[in-house]
Amino acid sequence: MSELDDIMRAFGEAGGHQGALADVNTAHLVASGHSILSSHSVEGLDVQARETQDGISAKVTVRAGVKLKNPVHMCFGVLHQEGTQRIEMDVRLEEGSSAQFIAHCIFPKAEKVRHIMDATVAIGEGAEMRYSETHYHGLSGGVEVVPKAMVTISRGGRYFTDFTLTTGRVGKLDLDYTVDVGEDAVTELVARVFGHGRDGIHIRDKVLLTGKNARGLIKTRVAIEDDAVAEVTGITEGNAAGARGHVDCMEIVKDRAVARAIPIVQVNDPGAKVTHEAAIGSVDKRQMETLMAHGLLPEEAVDIIVRGILR
C-alpha cells in the first residue's frame, strides 16, 4: 500500500471527505512528512508547493474577484511514530475574493512527532477567508503541535478560523495567532481543545483592531482532565474609533488538571470598546442538576456538557 493510500485511509477514518479529493472542481493539497503526495488546483487559485528538508512550503493565492465555489481541502500528517513536519504557508486572498479552506492534520501513531505550521495570511480588500483545522491524534500523546499565523486583513475583509483538537491525546500544543484587523474588517478566532493525561495546552490569540470600525472575537473552549495543563491568553487591542472586540474563554477542569486564563484587553482610542469574559472551573452545577433531572447519570451529564462546549 502506498503512502498516499495510507494517508487517505487515515484521512477518511478521521472524518475527511475522500470524495472531495477526487473531484476535479475541488482543489486539494496532501502532504505526508516532507512529501507532497497529491495536489490539484482550480481556476482562480494558484498553488505553488514544494518539498523542503523537513516539510513543505506552499504559496497559495486566490485571484482578485474569484469566489471559490468548493472548499480547498488540505491534509497534512505524519504516519510514522517519529518525525518532523514543518509547513510553511503563504496565503493571499486578493481583493474581492473568497475561499474556504478545510485542513485535516493526522498523527495516528505519533510517539515523537513535531508538527510546525508557520503561516502568513493576507486578506485583501473586501475578501473573505474561512479556515478550519481539525486534528486527529493517537492516544500516546507524543505529538508536539506548533501552529503560528500572522494575518493581516485589509479594509472590509473578513477572516474566520476554527481550530479543533478534541480527538486523541493533544500532546503539546503551542498555538500562536496574531491578526491585524483593518478598517471595517472582521475576524473571529475559535479554538476547541480537549486535553487528557499529561497534555500541555498553550493558546495565545492576539487581535489588533487597527482600522476604524474593526471587529474581533476570540473564543476559546478548553476541557482538560487527568493531569493536563492549559494556559489560554486572549489579547485584544482597540486602536481605532468604532473598533469593537470581545474575548470569551471557557475552560472546564476535571481531576488534577490545571487551567489558567489570561485575558488582556487594551484600548488606545476612546472610541474603541473591548470586553472579555472568562470562566474556569468544574462543570456547572446547575447544568449538571438539569441534565440529571432528565434522568442522566452524572458521568453522562458531564460528557454532554463537555462535548457541547467543544462542539
Contact positions toward another protein, by CB under 8 A?
A: 221, 250, 284-287, 289-298, 301, 304-305, 307-311
Q: What is the largest CA-CA distance in the chain?
A: 62
Q: Using the CB atoms, write b or e for 236-256: b if 16+ within 10 Å.
A: bbbbbebbbbbbbbbbbbeee
Are the C-beta atoms of 269 and 244 separated by less than 8 Å? no
Tell me how far, at minimum, the Cβ of 129 lies from another protein, in Å. 24
Q: Is 44 left (phi over 0), alpha (psi -120 to 50) or beta?
A: left
> Is 67 in a helix, a strand, or coil?
strand
Query: Would you say 193 or 291 has its CB closer to another protein?
Result: 291
Task: Please tell me the distance from the alpha carbon of residue 102 to that of residue 307, in angstroms, as a whole number.
Answer: 21
Tell me how far, at minimum, the Cβ of 21 lies from another protein, in Å. 29
Are the C-beta atoms of 165 and 136 separated by less than 8 Å? no
| E strand spans, the chain | 28-32, 35-40, 45-51, 55-62, 72-77, 82-93, 98-107, 112-123, 128-137, 143-153, 158-167, 172-181, 186-195, 200-209, 215-224, 229-238, 244-253, 258-267, 273-281
Query: Would you say 1 or 293 has its CB closer to another protein?
Result: 293
Query: Would you say 24 or 293 has its CB closer to another protein?
Result: 293
Query: Would you say 46 or 289 has its CB closer to another protein?
Result: 289
Tell me how far, at minimum, the Cβ of 306 lies from another protein, in Å. 9
Tell me how far, at minimum, the Cβ of 156 lies from another protein, in Å. 26
Tell me how far, at minimum, the Cβ of 291 lies from another protein, in Å. 7
Query: Would you say 27 or 302 has its CB closer to another protein?
Result: 302
Query: Would you say 149 or 291 has its CB closer to another protein?
Result: 291
Tell me how far, at minimum, the Cβ of 229 lies from another protein, in Å. 23
